[in-house]
Chains A and B, each alone.
Chain A
Amino acid sequence: MTKTKREVARRPASAAIPSGWEYAPAPESRDIVRVNESYGLYIGGGFVEPLSNERYTTIDPAREEPLSEIAQAGKADVDRAVKSAREAYAERWSNLRPSERAKYLFRIARLLQERSREFAVLESLNGGKPIRESRDVDLPLAAAHFFYYAGWADKLEYAFPNRTPRPIGVAGQIIPWNFPLLMLAWKIAPALAAGNTVVLKPAETTPLSALLFCDVVRQAELPPGVVNIVTGDGRTGAELVSHPDVDKIAFTGSTEVGKAIARTLAGTGKRLTLELGGKAANIIFDDAALDQAVEGIVNGIYFNQGHVCCAGSRLFVQESIYETVMAKLKRRMRTLRVGDPLDKNTDVGAINSKQQLDKIGALVQSGIDEGAEIYQPPCKLPERGYWFVPTVFTNVAQSYRIAQEEIFGPVLSVLTFRTPDEAIEKANNTPYGLSAGVWTEKGSRILAMAQGLRAGVVWANTYNRFDPASPFGGYKESGFGREGGRHGLEPYVQLDGE
């Protein structure tokens, strides 16, 4: 350009262009939600003090500050909750007109929408996940699940044509800490829609949104005892699992605990569904839309700090595009914003607990020891709280622990493949089978891959996308039974001849 820049005196102060564009803190206000100093157990339509007299402290993992004192329910407490659920089932809920059940569920869904900001803040506060995710993913999906199953409540015979579905009784439900309210919705909505009552145990580290949900239950004027919430650690869960008057157990969590539950229930006649761990393959072909595939990789593994059972923790890249994909991925990782979960610009929040942080650290160390090459973007972490820098491992062999074990953290293992057959073979070469991702612009290849991959969910050109109408669940050690969709009703009904 030949234009001569002439003397200009009208750009004084603004000529001082900052060397970077630091986004100012944009925190969501935590004042919108009130956290009580302590909580009891929600049994029979109200909070009661735990008979166990035991309590523990739940914290904010981003600040390591105590938030509230939580009841540790014992055997007698669980028994009380199950009795209350049984009574509500027999006397109030199973005989209610299905359209009335639907009304309650619609009411809960609307209340969740109305109070979504409050719930989102609480979810980030207690769990460490970025507010952007709890606001844009957890809450809308939780409400959507209640809306979806509310619609089924009076149409069950259409879900199971010619099979007269009936409720099964009292469901004991145990949920994990990664999506506390969303998992609660996945569990409670289909159970109630089908006419069952529930005793639900939220995860030890993230009980607060379930306890706030009790207030929604109250507002919705749900008959007492239909929903009971008992808090506590694994011991409480074990009591619930082994309680003789529970008809069905639904568990989402680690494969280890899932196996223990299956052993306990063997021969009891109780129904069981398990949604357990995963080590999903995210497979990138050379004809994929690369920039979008890189977004899919990032969303697959760094979404919710990698605390996602279906996380795309094993990345398979076709060798011909390996260098390009890695360069794009590393550049993208440098733009990830790690920090305060309540800041609206945070992409990656805090690790849920000290225990989980230690586990991630140990597995990452094993990756380094076994000879994998580690990359972590430059990243300033807050001083207090539990944090882990988004990490990617290259030069990973199938035999390394980081390629085999579920890390449940922001750690990606990258492997390569040459042909579609090799991709399928390697992707299936794991004890798990919850989910997989395929990135290609070729439609026929998507269908062929979906057929070959032994995973409950196969995403094509997207990742970690959920919808209440779509069933979710695993193969092999990732569990059995499906949640979501019409399939998600099945574990909660008995059909003719059962």
Chain B
Amino acid sequence: MATAPVLPGGFELPLEPRLPRLGSIDAVALEARAAALATRSIKRESKLFALDLAIRVMDLTTLEGADTPGKVSALASKGIHPDPSDPHIPSVAAICVYPNLVPYALERTRGTDVNVAAVATAFPSGQSSLDVKLAEVREVLDAGAQEVDMVIDRGAFLSGRYAQVYDEIVRVKEACAGRAHLKVILETGELGTYDNIRRASLLAIAGGADFIKTSTGKLPSSATLPVTLCMLEVIRDVHEETGRVVGLKAAGGIRQAKQAVQYLVQVHETLGLAWLTPDRYRLGASSLLNDVLMQIRKERTGRYQNPDYFTVD
């Protein structure tokens, strides 16, 4: 087995017997806490701060079979200038696309501080051989992607082959090292329990993830507030224990500004302001941006504007 950077306690032993015993989550209490945090009432300037932040940490995403170079270019332009009529609106953090479309996204983002993230490793299922997955990772790196969003092998995880999952992450991390940021997608909707989500998070972090990410967005059940709270608590524990900083990306199902604010409040009250930067937190979304823009304008002017005043890309 390959070795990883700083390990959380418990990982010095073989994974199979250890991992199922690493911490546990009480589902009822976790959901209650997430629900309580979601009732925070964020108004006026504190809301504007959150909306601005939601854009700065956004991974503007398109992952469709129907994606074309044109679609990706348009989306990249939108990410750079979300609202051409308002110079105060920041750019998004990154554009997230399929491997073959990386060059078209890069063409637009060159010269800006918007990154290009590519999904890889047989996204979304992860059902392929390690060689194929690594080849795909090298390809997106060579194309110039600055961030790689890999998926874990859920089949291996659920059948208890943790070492295999871990090894894959380590190998992908080796490929990315020094070239790109690695986000590890757990696909929490397929993991079944919060206990599993906690274990998979630890596994990904031990394997070298820079970010852990909830979902591919390809399942009906994607990011939820309890799921991200569970993952944030893992990140907090690892940080307390080792000092290592790991980021979180919530993805899938986040369509409204109100939801985005709830996710940000959760980060704020779990890990503090230090995590509210694009280096440590991302919101993966395809249709969230315009709602955020609309809410910003509403906060500034006091009224809602017709959706036709926000560009559709």
The chain A residues found within 8 Å of chain B, CB to CB, are 1-3, 5-6, 8, 10-14, 18-26, 132, 136, 287-293, 295-296, 327, 335, 344-345, 441, 461-462
Residues of chain A with a CB closer than 8 A to B115's CB: 3
B279 CB to closest chain A CB, in angstroms? 9
- The reply to whether A289 and B33 contact each other, CB–CB distance below 8 Å, is no
Question: Which residues of B in the span 259-287 have a Cβ within 8 Å of any Cβ on A?
Answer: 268-269, 273, 276
B26 CB to closest chain A CB, in angstroms? 4
- The reply to whether B240 and A327 contact each other, CB–CB distance below 8 Å, is yes
Which has the most chain A C-beta neighbours within 10 Å: B81, B87, B178?
B87
- The 4 A-B residue pairs with the shortest CB-CB distance in the complex, in nearest-first order: A292-B29, A26-B41, A289-B26, A344-B41
- The reply to whether B113 and A21 contact each other, CB–CB distance below 8 Å, is no
Given the complex of chains A and B, what is the CA–CA distance between A217 and B313 in angstroms?
58
Given the complex of chains A and B, what is the CA–CA distance between A1 and B180 in angstroms?
5
- The reply to whether B111 and A21 contact each other, CB–CB distance below 8 Å, is no
Residues of chain A with a CB closer than 8 A to B146's CB: 1, 3
Could you list 23 examples of A-B contacts with CB < 8 Å?
A2-B178, A3-B115, A3-B146, A10-B91, A14-B52, A14-B56, A14-B88, A14-B90, A21-B46, A21-B276, A25-B43, A26-B41, A287-B24, A288-B26, A289-B30, A291-B30, A292-B29, A292-B33, A295-B29, A335-B269, A345-B40, A441-B26, A462-B28
Instruction: Flag whether B244 is at the interface (Cβ < 8 A).
Output: no
Given the complex of chains A and B, what is the CA–CA distance between A291 and B237 in angstroms?
10
Residues of chain A with a CB closer than 8 A to B269's CB: 335
Give the residue of B30, B40, B46 whose beta carbon is less than 8 angstroms from that of A22.
Answer: B46
- The reply to whether A8 and B29 contact each other, CB–CB distance below 8 Å, is no
Given the complex of chains A and B, what is the CA–CA distance between A289 and B28 in angstroms?
11
* Contact-residue size bin, chain B (C-beta under 8 Å from the other chain): 35 or more
- The reply to whether A10 and B87 contact each other, CB–CB distance below 8 Å, is yes
Give the residue of A1, A6, A8, A132 whose beta carbon is less than 8 angstroms from that of B39.
Answer: A132
Give the residue of A5, A24, A296 whose beta carbon is less than 8 angstroms from that of B47.
Answer: A24
Given the complex of chains A and B, what is the CA–CA distance between A2 and B276 in angstroms?
22
Question: Which residues of B in the span 31-68 have a Cβ within 8 Å of any Cβ on A?
Answer: 32-33, 36, 39-47, 49-50, 52, 56
Which has the most chain B C-beta neighbours within 10 Å: A12, A14, A20, A441?
A14
Given the complex of chains A and B, what is the CA–CA distance between A18 and B268 in angstroms?
13
- The reply to whether A292 and B25 contact each other, CB–CB distance below 8 Å, is yes
Given the complex of chains A and B, what is the CA–CA distance between A109 and B90 in angstroms?
50
Instruction: Flag whether B112 is at the interface (Cβ < 8 A).
Output: yes
- The reply to whether B24 and A2 contact each other, CB–CB distance below 8 Å, is no
- The reply to whether B273 and A6 contact each other, CB–CB distance below 8 Å, is no
Given the complex of chains A and B, what is the CA–CA distance between A332 and B113 in angstroms?
35
- The reply to whether B28 and A461 contact each other, CB–CB distance below 8 Å, is yes
Residues of chain B with a CB closer than 8 A to A345's CB: 40-41
- The reply to whether A10 and B32 contact each other, CB–CB distance below 8 Å, is no
- The reply to whether B90 and A11 contact each other, CB–CB distance below 8 Å, is yes
Instruction: Flag whether B233 is at the interface (Cβ < 8 A).
Output: yes
Residues of chain A with a CB closer than 8 A to B25's CB: 289, 291-292
Instruction: Flag whether B181 is at the interface (Cβ < 8 A).
Output: yes
Residue of B nearest to A6 (CB): B111
Given A3-B146, A24-B45, A289-B29: A10 in contact with B40 (beta carbons within 8 A): no
Given the complex of chains A and B, what is the CA–CA distance between A136 and B38 in angstroms?
13
Question: Which residues of B in the span 77-114 have a Cβ within 8 Å of any Cβ on A?
Answer: 80-81, 87-91, 111-113
Give the residue of B44, B88, B178, B273 whose beta carbon is less than 8 angstroms from that of A21.
Answer: B273
Given A8-B111, A24-B42; 16 other pairs, CB 8 A cutoff: A1-B146, A5-B113, A6-B113, A10-B81, A10-B90, A10-B91, A13-B88, A19-B273, A21-B49, A23-B41, A24-B44, A26-B41, A132-B36, A292-B25, A295-B33, A335-B269
- The reply to whether A461 and B41 contact each other, CB–CB distance below 8 Å, is no
Residues of chain B with a CB closer than 8 A to A5's CB: 113
A461 CB to closest chain B CB, in angstroms? 5
- The reply to whether B46 and A344 contact each other, CB–CB distance below 8 Å, is no
- The reply to whether A8 and B112 contact each other, CB–CB distance below 8 Å, is yes
B138 CB to closest chain A CB, in angstroms? 15
Residues of chain B with a CB closer than 8 A to A8's CB: 91, 111-113
Instruction: Flag whether B171 is at the interface (Cβ < 8 A).
Output: no
B176 CB to closest chain A CB, in angstroms? 9
- The reply to whether B23 and A290 contact each other, CB–CB distance below 8 Å, is yes
Residues of chain B with a CB closer than 8 A to A292's CB: 25-26, 29-30, 33
B51 CB to closest chain A CB, in angstroms? 10
Residues of chain B with a CB closer than 8 A to A136's CB: 39
Give the residue of B41, B47, B80 whose beta carbon is less than 8 angstroms from that of A10.
Answer: B80
- The reply to whether A23 and B112 contact each other, CB–CB distance below 8 Å, is no
Instruction: Flag whether B218 is at the interface (Cβ < 8 A).
Output: no
Instruction: Flag whether B297 is at the interface (Cβ < 8 A).
Output: no
Residue of B nearest to A23 (CB): B46
Residue of B nearest to A441 (CB): B24
Instruction: Flag whether B179 is at the interface (Cβ < 8 A).
Output: yes
Residue of B nearest to A295 (CB): B33
B105 CB to closest chain A CB, in angstroms? 14
Given the complex of chains A and B, what is the CA–CA distance between A6 and B240 in angstroms?
33
B150 CB to closest chain A CB, in angstroms? 16
Residues of chain A with a CB closer than 8 A to B87's CB: 10, 12
Residues of chain B with a CB closer than 8 A to A23's CB: 40-43, 46
Given the complex of chains A and B, what is the CA–CA distance between A327 and B89 in angstroms?
39
Given the complex of chains A and B, what is the CA–CA distance between A18 and B50 in angstroms?
11
- The reply to whether A21 and B233 contact each other, CB–CB distance below 8 Å, is no
B93 CB to closest chain A CB, in angstroms? 12
A407 CB to closest chain B CB, in angstroms? 24
Question: Which residues of B in the span 177-235 have a Cβ within 8 Å of any Cβ on A?
Answer: 178-181, 233
Give the residue of B36, B88, B273 whose beta carbon is less than 8 angstroms from that of A20.
Answer: B273
- The reply to whether B29 and A296 contact each other, CB–CB distance below 8 Å, is yes
- The reply to whether A21 and B81 contact each other, CB–CB distance below 8 Å, is no
Given A292-B26, A345-B40, A461-B26: A2 in contact with B88 (beta carbons within 8 A): no
- The reply to whether A289 and B113 contact each other, CB–CB distance below 8 Å, is no
A26 CB to closest chain B CB, in angstroms? 4
B194 CB to closest chain A CB, in angstroms? 9
Given the complex of chains A and B, what is the CA–CA distance between A6 and B109 in angstroms?
11
